[in-house]
Amino acid sequence: GACQHGGLGWYRRRIVPVGSFVIATEVLPQVLIDQLLPGRRAYVTSRMIGNYFRLTPDNRLLFGGRARFAMSDSVSDAKSGKVLQAAMVQMFPQLANVKIDYCWGGLVDMTSDRLPRAGQHGGVYHSMGYSGHGVQMSVHMGQVMAEVMAGKVEANPWRELDWPAIPGHFGKPWFLPFVGAYYRFQDYLH
């Protein structure tokens, strides 16, 4: 329709919606917490398809990540929850018999090179493409883009970054399984 070619179509050809998924365990015994996460920090792995995890205030382990390169819906979230549970148990074999109480997913916006983009197109200012790192960066970039809109163009750290459309991508990410396979292969090599 009209939106596909005008409006948001320009963005849809440059952003890929990718599911990000999270599971939460049952409440863990203090002995197990002390053994696995004595510092009670938030953690992230350094792999291409990484995981992140931390304890909640009520002593559940939150464990998340890409899990599968798929969209988020109830069936996909459930499948992804199983993938995350397997990754969690591989990392923490002591959690093999721990019950998963919650599982959910949502979409993150990914660019082809996984670098964010900010600027202006067709009179619309944007800052997006955080590729799963938006929680920290988007708050900062909101302030930066306010400066840009007030005339301080040089405040935008990504103003010089080219942003070509992704060939063959018009909104539905048919290629996600191939992207997932590529990233899994990169992790295997390292």
Mark whether 106 and 125 lie in a shared domain: no
pLDDT of residue 30: 94
pLDDT of residue 172: 63
- How far is the C-alpha of 172 from the C-alpha of 190, rounded, in Å? 30
Domain presence at residue 125? yes
- Tell me what the mean pLDDT of segment 145-153 comes to: 96
Domain presence at residue 48? yes
Domain presence at residue 43? yes
pLDDT at residue 101 greater than cutoff 80: yes
Domain presence at residue 2? no
Helix (H) or strand (E) run with residue 185 in it: helix 176-189
Cβ–Cβ < 8 Å for 11, 168: no
Neighbour tally for 9: CB within 10 Å = 16
pLDDT at residue 182 greater than cutoff 60: no
Q: Which of 183, 149, 179 shows the shortest CA–CA distance to 17?
A: 179
**Per-residue b or e along 91-117, where b marks 16 or more CB atoms closer than 10 Å to that residue's CB:** ebeebeebebeebebeebbbbbeeebb
> Model pTM?
0.67
Structural domains of the chain, count: 2
CATH of the domain at 45: 3.30.9.10
Mark whether 49 and 30 lie in a shared domain: yes
Domain that holds residue 25: 16-110
